[in-house]
Homo-oligomer: A and B are copies of this chain.
Amino acid sequence: MSTERPRLHGYWRSTAAYRIRIALNLKKVRYENVPVDLVRDGGVQHTDAFRALNPAGLVPALEIDGHVLTQSLAICEYLEETRPEPPLLPHLASERVLARTIALDVACEIHPLNNLRVQQYLKGRLNADDAAAREWMHHWMAAGFGAIETRLEAWGRGGDTCLGGAPGVADIFIVGQAYNADRFGFSLQPYPRVERVVRACGALPAFADAVPEAQPDAPAND
């Protein structure tokens, strides 16, 4: 492993970048924050300079150990394999799969349908108004959080983290998405197990230090 400090190319409000900030904090990896403004001038993520880091034009991109890594769950798995302590995944295969399922419930079923570029497409090309775009967002959050709540109920851990014990990838992905829910007026009240994880994990320093509003590129009075 390189001794150079990792550089996280992210955006304060990106929930995918938020996940990596939490993961790096939990692993106690000190990193440099490199803001990528997704809004200004049509989006810095679309520039050739950024696409050289990630051709998908999406944040986060993490420069670490001489590599440029993208896709937040892949980055978490890499951190887990190269810096095992503290673990972000349980020990048993039968538990690891549950943790990854929750992370993918967020990463595949909620986030891709709600992110900035999809909102732009809905409004710009399908003439969706603000109400329709918001309804779309809430629809997929309800489906996704509903499934997660039912899973947590079925697993019966009933704790401050999805799988009991220390926080890991499942909790990281839920907390990130909960920020977006709050931002777009989607209440988590019908999902008490999700809400408990968000509240409990959100209070931990590794999570609190990663919140969007605490980032250097967050506007002072947003």
Contacts and interface: CB of A to CB of B under 8 A. Distances in A.
A67 B151 CA distance: 13
Given A93-B82, A96-B81, A113-B118, A101 B70 contact: yes
Interface in A138-170: 139, 143-144, 146-147, 150-151, 154
A204 interface: no
A94 B68 CA distance: 10
A107 interface: yes
Contact of A108 (B54, B112, B128): B112
Given A108-B111, A112-B108, A150 B55 contact: yes
Q: Interface centre among A118, A126, A154, by most B CB within 10 Å? A: A126
A71 interface: yes
A78 B97 contact: yes
Q: How large is the interface on A (under 10, 10 to 19, 20 to 34, 35 or more residues)?
A: 35 or more
17 contacts: A55-B150, A55-B151, A56-B105, A56-B143, A56-B144, A56-B147, A57-B147, A58-B109, A69-B101, A73-B100, A73-B104, A74-B101, A77-B96, A107-B107, A113-B118, A125-B136, A126-B126
A122 B112 contact: no
B105 A108 contact: no
A65 interface: yes
A118 B112 CA distance: 11
Query: Across chains A and B, which 10 residue pairs bring their CB atoms closest together, nearest first?
Result: A55-B150, A56-B147, A74-B100, A71-B104, A81-B93, A78-B97, A112-B112, A71-B101, A55-B147, A74-B101
B65 A94 contact: yes
A71 B56 contact: no
A59 interface: no
Nearest to A67: B94
Contacts of A143: 56-57
A132 interface: yes
A60 B101 CA distance: 12
Most buried by B among A100, A104, A121: A104
Nearest to A80: B93
